Amino acid sequence: MKAFKFLIGYIGFLLLVSCSTDNPVTIPFENPEVILSIPENFPEVNNAFYANAPTQYGVSLGKKLFFDKRFSTDNTISCASCHIPSNAFADNKPQAIGVEGRIGLRNVPPIQNLAFMRFYNWDGSKLELENQPLVPIITHEEMDSSILEVMGKLKEDSEIVEMFSKAFGDDEITPYRIYASLAQYEYTLISSNSVYDQVIRNDGVSFTESEAQGYETFQQKCASCHSTELFTDQSYRNIGFPINTDSNEAGRARVTGNMEDYMSFRVPSLRNVEFTAPYGSFGQFATLKDVLDYFDEGVLFSENLDDTFKSNGNRIALSDAEKENLIAFMKTLSDSKFVQD
């Protein structure tokens, strides 16, 4: 494991102290940065992480805000209402359910290993995690609020005000500080201790015969998309899933305006996939078996269907035994400690 520790800025302070003993110097607020344990085989963290590295009080504040229902207009829904820790910070509904039972456009994505991601949302509409929180806050089908409304509520809470002061050095509550603290908390949500990880680390754990055979099938038929230790190559692909008929849905094309991206979505990570059913951009499939059956039987053709399917008759052929073993392997990607903490 490698430890990342990013120091905020005591060098200038120490130089100032050493150069002057006549003028009193205000000691900066104490807010040590959090040391994250990151496996050696994981990708590098993204650039935004370096600019907003998690701190002790920033993470505490972010976690507090993550579970705060005042972010919704009627104080009924928090981030954690949809991003449920025991579901790998996803939920078990086909689509997000917002205030007043409103149904969102898409399935709730899990929150894990976000420090290593290059884009956010299923369509990659956000390049930095710090820009993501505003989306659910203002979306009519989700929290249906505004950042000004949220700030007004938080400013009335003396405990929250004190937490902002500890995290940022003064008690000013700003949009960026809200977003930054939420991101700091989410950056700490690293899942890297599954059975698979223990096998790779030679921690005295071995695959069962079924899991080992599933891993072999995975490498042959799945790893071109679900690659790296994140189990996603972070690309956007149209894999021929049943189409959401909502007129607002176009997949990645909503962001790029390019019809070649129509109904393309980010390849999901398979880590903790056991806990994140249902599957698909709007929960089209109830189980992993349903997904594999669909791949085997043949997906929907389109001009921009991913070449992985086009070159194989619009399907990924899988025997019943391969499906069973694949599911066994995918369950080795479950990190029980991550979903219990």
* 195-212 confidence digits (pLDDT tens): 999 999 999 999 999 999
Neighbours of 210 (CB within 10 A): 16
Q: Which helix (H) or strand (E) holds 218?
A: helix 209-221
Calpha distance 42→197 (Å, rounded)? 11
Report whether pLDDT(63) > 50: yes
Calpha distance 233→226 (Å, rounded)? 6
**Rounded-to-10 torsion of CA 77, 134, 268, 306:** 130
Residue 1 — pLDDT band, cuts 50, 70, 90? low
Buried residues in 61-100 as b, exposed as e (16+ CB within 10 A): bbbbbbebebbbbeeebbbbbbbbbebbbbbebbbbbbbe
Tokens of 263: 């109904």
Per the CB < 8 A criterion, the answer to whether 120 and 114 are in contact is: yes
By C-alpha distance, which of 56, 227, 37 is closest to 115? 37
Neighbours of 32 (CB within 10 A): 11
Per the CB < 8 A criterion, the answer to whether 210 and 324 are in contact is: yes
Report whether pLDDT(76) > 80: yes
Per the CB < 8 A criterion, the answer to whether 290 and 249 are in contact is: no
Residues at the binding site are: 79, 82-83, 222, 225-226
Report whether pLDDT(117) > 90: yes
Report whether pLDDT(22) > 60: no
Q: Is 328 helix (H, G, I), strand (E, B) or coil?
A: helix
Taken in order of first residue, the domains within the chain and their CATH numbers are 2-187 (1.10.760.10), 195-340 (1.10.760.10)
Report whether pLDDT(11) > 60: no
Report whether pLDDT(238) > 70: yes
Render pLDDT for 266-279 as a digit per residue (tens, 0 to 9): 999 999 999 999 99
Neighbours of 216 (CB within 10 A): 15
**Rounded-to-10 torsion of CA 116, 65, 73, 149:** -100
State the pLDDT at residue 21: 42
Residue 341 — pLDDT band, cuts 50, 70, 90? confident
The residues near 121 (Cβ < 8 Å, ≥ 6 apart) are 109, 132, 135, 266
Q: Which helix (H) or strand (E) holds 80?
A: helix 79-82
Report whether pLDDT(20) > 60: no
Residues at the binding site for heme c are: 79, 82-83, 222, 225-226
Q: What are phi and psi of 3, to 5 degrees?
A: -105, 130
What average pLDDT score do residues 153-179 get? 98
